[in-house]
Amino acid sequence: MAEALLVIEDEPLLGSELQGEFADQGWDAHLAPSIKEAKKLLLERDIQPLVVLSDMNLPDGNGLDLLEQIRSKCIIGEWIFLTAYGGVSDSVRALKLGAFDFLEKPCDPDRLAIVVAGAARSARAQRRLHDEELSKSGRYTPDAFLGHSAKSVEIRDMLSRLSGVPFSAVTITGETGTGKGLSARILHHNGERANGPLVEVNCAALPRDLLEAELFGHEAGAFTGAKGRHRGLIEQANGGSLFLDEIGELAYDLQAKLLKTIEDRRVRRIGGEREIEVDVRIIAATNRDLEARVADKRFRADLFHRLSVFRLELPPLRYRKEDIEDLLPTFIQEFNLAAGRQVETVPDAIYRRLIDYDWPGNVRELRNVVERCVLLADSSVFPARWLHLDAASQGIQGDSGSVSIGPDGKTLCLPLDGSFSLDEMERSILTEVLARNSSNVSLSARVLGTTREKLRYRVQKYQLKTADE
């Protein structure tokens, strides 16, 4: 289907010539000889042109005024102005209003064709971005938090309320896999900052020094390896939301720096000499008991209270198992579409197993189980073979195999017969290494050749016990 192009020109000969020329090039070209006719095409007939070629001065008004009205209604498209009487002030206003270009009459046809082609490419890019934002907004509505239990209804109600108010900070708590990330995206994409950026950072996944540089940014030469200027994540979130996942793992000294940034609404890059104004809404999430960490002097009380303007506690799946009725078919449909499968039937025996299981990994674990079963299904029936719920609950036992220690006492043997998922293998390895190192995270991290922060993230993911708990 041809893309629409609108010519707004009161000179009949020039208008007809432009309309015919672009129609010959494959455009669905329309002609409006006045502001009134242009408004009918744009607002009543809703032609949504990709490019608008408009005269500046028309019999019943000014083309710039029309652009300002149309922009306020969010009609996506690029505008090019043609005029024989344009001045500097008109050019400046046109560009401020977002016009693509400003050309004087008479305009060379070849040059006009090049400018229109560039405007079309720009407009297509704008439309893709616009469509992506609409898609995200549609995907991340409060209804995306699935479930008909009383707790889920309460959570959806709170998400709807928060989406409608200009809150400065909210803390989302709950076990791993309960939907903290989903809730953060719902709050961003349904609020007044939906058109701004959503910047996400996991505070447990990065070492302290790297996290500081990522959050606050740095100037060139601020430290070894800082070859250029870097805008930090707080700066990048300006006008939008900053999602701080696992906020409880943020280093104590960085907590003070973050609090100052939130309070002052200013950020100073590492090695920088000036402060930069930022307008950022904070969404924090944690699976830790922050009040207990405050009491233990591991989390600043002032930051805790600053982040807890609103608090949203997400219940574990084991306390709302009736929601599996809503979650299961949704996940099956998702992976049917992704893998071209047609799983439709869930036997009662399998459903009872899902209900009886306690889901230590919560909704994330359920989603992983459904993904595995749907992708490996051989028919339209949800397969029991790939559930592995007993293996997950015991941590190191599989349906058709088990973890064992090799004869040298230093080797861990894992079954490769499909009875263990990747997560179950990783959990088994971490459990054994922690047990051999007295549950010491730092020592276990050295043995595994990884960082303490990365190991702590996996310890939290699998809810393993450590020496510092």
H or E stretch covering 103: strand 101-104
CB 7 within 8 A of CB 33: no
Radius of gyration of the chain (CA): 29
CA distance 30 to 44: 14
Query: Where are the chain's structural domains?
Result: 4-136, 141-315, 317-387, 402-469
CA distance 199 to 213: 15
CA distance 334 to 17: 51
Q: What is the DSSP letter of 319?
A: G
CA distance 236 to 420: 41
C-alpha dihedral sign at 256, 257, 258, 260: positive
Please provide the CATH number assigned to the domain covering 317-387: 1.10.8.60
CA distance 328 to 330: 5
Q: Identify the CA nearest to 62 among candidates 34, 103, 40, 92.
A: 34
Nearest 5 degrees, angle CA 393-CA 397-CA 398?
100
Burial of 108 from C-beta contacts in 10 A (0-12 / 13-18 / 19+): exposed
Cβ partners under 8 Å of residue 283, min gap 6:
169, 170, 172, 184, 187, 188, 241, 242, 243, 244
What local confidence, expressed as pLDDT, does residue 46 receive? 79
Per-residue pLDDT of the chain (469 residues; tens, 9 = 90+): 678 999 999 999 999 999 999 999 999 999 999 999 999 998 888 788 999 999 888 888 888 888 888 877 766 689 998 877 656 677 777 777 788 888 888 888 888 999 999 999 988 888 877 666 655 555 789 999 999 999 999 999 999 999 999 999 999 999 999 999 999 999 999 988 988 899 999 998 889 989 999 999 999 888 887 878 889 999 999 999 999 999 999 999 999 999 999 999 999 999 998 999 999 999 999 999 999 999 999 999 999 999 999 999 999 999 999 999 999 999 999 999 989 999 999 999 999 999 999 999 999 999 999 999 999 999 999 998 888 886 444 443 333 345 666 655 667 777 775 656 777 788 888 888 888 888 888 888 888 888 888 888 888 888 787 766 5
Q: Which residues face 4 on adjacent strands?
A: 28
Please provide the CATH number assigned to the domain covering 141-315: 3.40.50.300
Please provide the CATH number assigned to the domain covering 4-136: 3.40.50.2300
Tokens describing residue 457: 């993230």
Please provide the CATH number assigned to the domain covering 402-469: 1.10.10.60
CA distance 374 to 359: 19
Q: What is the DSSP letter of 2?
A: P
Examine domains 4-136 and 317-387 and report if their fold is the same: no
CA distance 423 to 352: 23
The pairing of strands 4-8 and 28-32 is parallel
CB 171 within 8 A of CB 284: yes
CA distance 216 to 276: 10
Q: Identify the CA nearest to 353 among candidates 334, 336, 331, 369.
A: 369
| CA 181 to mean position of chain CA atoms | 9
pTM for the whole structure: 0.62
CB 421 within 8 A of CB 415: no
CB 163 within 8 A of CB 312: no
Residue 306 to residues 12, 17, 46, 170, 244: CA-CA distances in angstroms?
64, 64, 47, 9, 14
Tokens describing residue 191: 């609020």
DSSP-derived secondary structure for 215-262: HH-B-TTSSTT--S-B--HHHHTTTSEEEEETGGGS-HHHHHHHHHHH
What local confidence, expressed as pLDDT, does residue 75 receive? 67
